[in-house]
Amino acid sequence: MLLELGSLAPRAGHLLALLFTEWTVVAVAAAAMLWVANERLQGVRARESALLVVSLVVLAWFASVPVAAAWLLYALLFYAAAEFMQPRWLAAALVALLLAAQVILPVVAIGPLGERGRHVREFTAFATNMAFLRFYAYAWDRWRRGTQREPPARFLLAMFFFPTFVNGPVEVPRLLESGWVRGDPVAQRRGIPTGLGRVLAGIAKLGLVGLVFAPGWSAALAGGAEAPTGRIWLWGALLYAWFYLSFSAWSDVAIGVGALCGRRVQENFAYPWAAIDPADFWRRWHISLGLWLRDYVYIPLGGNRRHRGANVLATFGVSAAWHIWGSVKLLGLGFFGPQAWGGFLLWGLLNAVGVMAGRPLDRVVPATSPARKAVRGVATFLFASLCWIPFFLPPGVPLRAGLTMLFRMVWPAGIW
């Protein structure tokens, strides 16, 4: 699991073969071409059109031309249904049908997608997770919030903006306009060193992950039911570090490439290890998904106004289902069927309980001094580490084994 000199070469080869690596190279090259083109283009519309074209080319590069064409047709059908279909009930029915198709088709087509290239299935699995949130948000905002209709080209750009298309951060279409760096060309050029710095930070993070952690190291959890308490806690802490470095690496590159394209992309992490309770943790971890869940699940259900506990539980239930769906698209129902979903559901339940316990915790141990903040920070880190155990429970390992590990963590049965 940890660094061994003899394994450096295969680990470096594994890094080079990752979707992340190819996506980083292609995305930076695409952003560089846009910078050259923008020097000759006049006006916002022309530059946005160029960005849309590049985004579609990047989509075709990773998803194949036929799949990219299907994506484009799907987006145009969705736009037509959301904007022009009458009466409203028929439009809502068609939009719901299209969203259902986006959920089902990548699962049904997992075999053919895998035959199109080494990264097509993986790219599609990640990208559809992001795209579903954007398409859903567009229809909701248009019909419930009364946001203005986007022109077709800008709608497509919001859906296919290539820096965030594959793995986020989550960006809803209504926020597209507010993120552009406008005006002074000098100010826009400042995005070059900033963007490249974030890209390099992301590369460094994933490089560290690839060299320190062996591919598939988390499979060790399969034998966790028999492991002593200290080892399980170590696994939880390592999962926290590994997942943070891996996921924030994607976000760093996306934010950096977005800056190269002249756009401020939503931050996705804000020092999660500094959180003082589970709710604070989720304000710092995967921020863009948390904001989406707040705006499109938690608040519509009633938020803090009524049935708060049920709303928190439902919100984490949606998050767990979203992660289950992503795993099914990667692994298939044969390998990641319903019997393997318990880990994600348990993870959601634990976090919901943790968030609901935040208010009583504030009354019992208010964070009124540095010492109390430190104690609560350590407790929150340990709680998050505990929750990553069921989240990363390998397929084929019964949920009972995960529950046994959690029991050993909170009720030690022997150290090491």
Sorted by sequence, the CB contacts under 8 Å of residue 123 that are 6+ apart come out as: 19, 23, 62, 63, 166
Sorted by sequence, the CB contacts under 8 Å of residue 305 that are 6+ apart come out as: none
Q: Report the mean per-residue pLDDT for the chain.
A: 90
Among 37-51, 107-121, 331-345, where is mean pLDDT lowest?
37-51
In this predicted structure, what is the pLDDT of residue 2?
A: 56
Cβ atoms of 276 and 380 within 8 Å: the answer is: yes
Q: Over range 25-42, report the average pLDDT.
A: 85
Domain limit, last residue, from 176, 192, 208: 192
| Residue 333: pLDDT over 80 | yes
- Written as one string, the DSSP assignment of 284-351 is HBSHHHHHHHIIIIIHHHTTTTS-HHHHHHHHHHHHHHHHHHHHHHHH-TTTS-GGGTHHHHHHHHHH
State which of 235-244, 354-363, 366-375 shows the largest mean pLDDT.
235-244
Tell me, yes or no, whether 206 lies in a domain. no
Shared domain check, 279 and 177: no
Shared domain check, 52 and 171: yes
In this predicted structure, what is the pLDDT of residue 187?
A: 55
Q: What is the pLDDT of residues 232-251, one digit of tens each?
A: 999 999 999 999 999 999 99
Shared domain check, 313 and 174: no
Shared domain check, 188 and 294: no
- Cα separations in angstroms, 7 against 222, 234, 246: 23, 22, 19
Domain limit, last residue, from 192, 223, 253: 192
Tell me, yes or no, whether 107 lies in a domain. yes
Specify the pTM.
0.94
Cβ atoms of 352 and 316 within 8 Å: the answer is: yes
Tell me, yes or no, whether 197 lies in a domain. no
In this predicted structure, what is the pLDDT of residue 189?
A: 65
Shared domain check, 279 and 181: no
Shared domain check, 292 and 187: no
In this predicted structure, what is the pLDDT of residue 416?
A: 46
Domain limit, last residue, from 136, 166, 192: 192
Q: Which of 124, 180, 153 lies closest to 53 in space, CA to CA? A: 153
Among 64-73, 89-98, 370-379, where is mean pLDDT lowest?
370-379
Domains: count for the chain: 2
Portion of the chain with pLDDT greater than 70, in percent: 94
Portion of the chain with pLDDT greater than 90, in percent: 70
Tell me, yes or no, whether 256 lies in a domain. no
In the 8-state DSSP scheme, what is residue 85? Answer: -
The token pair at 27 is: 């995305």
In this predicted structure, what is the pLDDT of residue 6?
A: 55
The token pair at 330 is: 């990667």
Tell me, yes or no, whether 219 lies in a domain. no
- Rounded to whole angstroms, the Cα distance separating 166 from 22 reads 12
The token pair at 123 is: 């790219």
Tell me, yes or no, whether 306 lies in a domain. yes
In this predicted structure, what is the pLDDT of residue 262?
A: 85
Shared domain check, 298 and 170: no
- Cα separations in angstroms, 260 against 189, 202, 222, 397: 8, 15, 42, 44
| Residue 15: pLDDT over 50 | yes
| Residue 38: pLDDT over 80 | no
In this predicted structure, what is the pLDDT of residue 351?
A: 97
In this predicted structure, what is the pLDDT of residue 414?
A: 55
In this predicted structure, what is the pLDDT of residue 185?
A: 55
**Model confidence band, residue 46 (pLDDT cutoffs 50, 70, 90):** confident
Shared domain check, 363 and 277: yes
Structural domain range at position 406: 270-410
In this predicted structure, what is the pLDDT of residue 216?
A: 86
Q: Over range 170-191, report the average pLDDT.
A: 72
In the 8-state DSSP scheme, what is residue 173? Answer: G
Tell me, yes or no, whether 212 lies in a domain. no
Shared domain check, 155 and 18: yes
| Residue 108: pLDDT over 80 | yes
- Rounded to whole angstroms, the Cα distance separating 19 from 299 reads 35
Tell me, yes or no, whether 237 lies in a domain. no
Sorted by sequence, the CB contacts under 8 Å of residue 180 that are 6+ apart come out as: 44, 262, 263, 264
Among 87-101, 112-126, 227-241, where is mean pLDDT lowest?
112-126
**Model confidence band, residue 13 (pLDDT cutoffs 50, 70, 90):** confident
State which of 4-8, 18-22, 304-308, 389-393 shows the largest mean pLDDT.
389-393
In this predicted structure, what is the pLDDT of residue 183?
A: 54
**Model confidence band, residue 182 (pLDDT cutoffs 50, 70, 90):** low
